[in-house]
Amino acid sequence: MVLLEPSSVPQQDETTQESEVKPFTVEILKLIKDCHQQHGLRHGDFQRYRGYCTRRIARLRSVLKLPQGDRRHYKKRDVTEAHINSPKADERFLHVPLMLAERNWAYAMQLRQEANTEPRKKFHFIQKLRKACVYSLLLEELCILDRCDARTKLEAQAYVAWMHGTLHFELQLWAKATENLTKAQVIYEKLASALPEDEQACYKQRVEEISPSLRYCAYNIGEDKAVDLLELRSQGILENFDTLVSQTKEKTAAILHEIKWFDINVPIRMDRVKIFLLAIENLDDSINRAETTQAKIKIIEDMFIDLRDIISEVRKDPKEQLVLSYLLSIRIDRTVQRNLLLIRQTKKPQDICRLLDIIIQQHTELMQFEQLVDNAKAQAAYSQRLDAYRALRAFYMAKTHALFRRWKEATATFDICEDRVSAIKKNKYDGILGEMINYVAEKADLERAVAHANVVLEKHEEEAAPVPQKQYKSKKPLMERLDEFREDPQLLTKNPNVVPVPIPMTPVSPKPLFYDLALNYVQMPEALQDMVEGTKKEQKQGAGISGFVKGLWGWGKK
């Protein structure tokens, strides 16, 4: 986001802005060449490129709100003059017929490769090539309108001539093929001669690609037919070329020889820097037209890719230090703009604080540039922005404290935020920064009141909390201390100490008993002991004989 002086910002009425409609500029050849290199044709993969064209058409129709029916019903909708002439029209409407022509052309080239082994596919190949010619004619009809500039008209005429020349070449209509291919070659040569050097490469390459086809046509015709310039002028081609030359001269004469940057005149000598600064003139309009925040961030990041290459090139020239500082300021301003868009997507206040710290650091570095240190206007402009970012950081830092329930710190930080917001109320901020400052000015007082209420509530809870009493732990069961009152948390657990289990044994007085203590010391006489043992043996033998007899005669059975 390049900072402009207040006097250099144009203030126009809404009616004047609506009446000034910028013409469309579509670099058709450069656009399709870039698509070819990035989506398969570098390796001759026409099927991959055809799939890209299909997806690109679907995205364009979705963004431009040009659907062809709904999920159940199909209703064809082409781009018409009404879409192009509308004051709010987008030049991407011209991309739709261009991508339709490219898709059919890619399908035709794919079938041409397959026709080497399957001859029947040649008819399908010619059909698709004819369809590509139809869509190219639709593109030309839209580009002829006054809304498009001379370069777009010339590119559309050259594209139509090349597409029809390709069709006639495949149909072996050598005269018509020569006429169309010659027409395309002349237009591309004229375009290359009128444009800057860094844009001539793709046009010269297309001229070289057409030359072999023209030689083959001349061989089949038997004569080399020259280009009839009068015929081209009658078709309006050379008139468009003259208009293109005049428009190019006006642009190069009027723009970017010198840029005013906070009362500092920055001379622009390098053509590539001029072209880049021209390209980013409408960058803010493109960002505002993007529907989602992610799409806006993508536009800024794509710009960073070109800016990085240009900065590396400018660094090589020690005479261009002023231009280098200006480009670095553009990079910092656009980085700040991207970080503000990221803040919109961020929900955590601590992450927002981190992004705001980066922004504050970048602005501090920008104020320390050698060219801006002594510039009062630049210092004042960046100081105003720094005050705004510091107020925002205080607000989201206070919200971070509140998130972690640090209410005292949150209240103090909200007080700092209110002081800073009141100090910058007299300043005017536009864009996302202005929206964020207004939001903080509305919410800071309420957030501070909530934090202060929580501080008071915490203090009241601390005062009302009962003094914790000392808890006594005793191993005595409750049964043994019924005469004492003590808080015992163990009684509320699953194993309360109420009664000892098992119950302890208590001693009791025994009954008087007589004990024969002398028996262990009495010795039996030996003769009596032998007699006892002999008697036991006889009893055992008698029992054995009588048992045998009873078993033999069956007397012992019951």
**CA end-to-end span of the chain, whole Å?**
128
In a domain, 180, yes or no: yes
In a domain, 530, yes or no: no
Q: Which CATH number does the domain housing residue 111 bear?
A: 1.10.3450.40
User: Is 238 in the same domain as 268?
Assistant: no
| Residue 93 CB partners (closer than 8 Å, separation 6+) | 64, 66, 79, 83, 84, 142
pLDDT in tens, 317-334: 877 888 888 899 999 999
User: Is 300 in the same domain as 444?
Assistant: no
User: Is 39 in the same domain as 173?
Assistant: yes
Residue bearing tokens 């955590």? 348
User: Is 43 in the same domain as 56?
Assistant: yes
The H or E element spanning position 505 is: none
**pLDDT at 480 (0 to 100):** 84
CB 104 within 8 A of CB 129: yes
Q: Which domain holds residue 280?
A: 255-345
In a domain, 414, yes or no: yes
User: Is 57 in the same domain as 81?
Assistant: yes
**pLDDT at 163 (0 to 100):** 94
Domain termination residue (choose one: 408, 430, 464) = 464
**pLDDT at 134 (0 to 100):** 94
User: Is 30 in the same domain as 171?
Assistant: yes
Q: What is the dihedral of CA 363, 367, 372, 377, to 10 degrees?
A: 80
User: Is 239 in the same domain as 388?
Assistant: no
Beta strands in 438-517 (DSSP E): none
User: Is 441 in the same domain as 318?
Assistant: no
In a domain, 361, yes or no: no
**pLDDT at 14 (0 to 100):** 40
In a domain, 555, yes or no: no
User: Is 139 in the same domain as 187?
Assistant: yes
User: Is 401 in the same domain as 460?
Assistant: yes
In a domain, 509, yes or no: no
User: Is 234 in the same domain as 277?
Assistant: no
Residue bearing tokens 């009893």? 539
- Beta-strand pair 258-261/264-267: antiparallel
**pLDDT at 506 (0 to 100):** 83
In a domain, 369, yes or no: no
User: Is 195 in the same domain as 262?
Assistant: no
- How many other CB atoms are found less than 10 A from the CB of residue 233? 13
CB 312 within 8 A of CB 296: no
Beta strands in 207-332 (DSSP E): 258-261, 264-267
Domain termination residue (choose one: 198, 232, 252) = 252
Query: What does pTM read for this prediction?
Result: 0.46
pLDDT (tens, 9 = 90+) of the chain, 558 residues, equals 334 333 333 344 444 444 456 788 888 999 999 999 989 888 889 999 999 999 999 999 999 888 888 778 888 888 888 888 888 888 899 999 999 999 999 999 999 988 888 888 889 999 999 999 999 999 999 988 888 888 888 899 999 999 999 999 999 999 999 999 999 998 888 888 888 777 888 888 999 999 999 988 888 887 544 444 444 444 555 555 556 655 555 554 444 467 888 878 888 878 778 878 877 887 888 888 888 888 888 888 888 888 888 888 888 887 788 888 889 999 999 999 899 999 988 889 999 999 999 999 988 988 888 888 888 888 988 899 999 999 999 999 999 999 888 899 999 999 999 889 888 888 888 888 888 888 888 888 888 899 889 888 888 877 766 655 566 667 788 888 888 877 777 788 888 888 888 877 888 877 766 666 676 777 766 666 666 666 666 666 555 555 555 555 555 544
In a domain, 522, yes or no: no
Query: How many domains does the structure of the chain reveal?
Result: 3
pLDDT in tens, 468-518: 556 666 778 888 888 887 777 778 888 888 888 887 788 887 776 666 667
Domain termination residue (choose one: 252, 282, 316) = 252
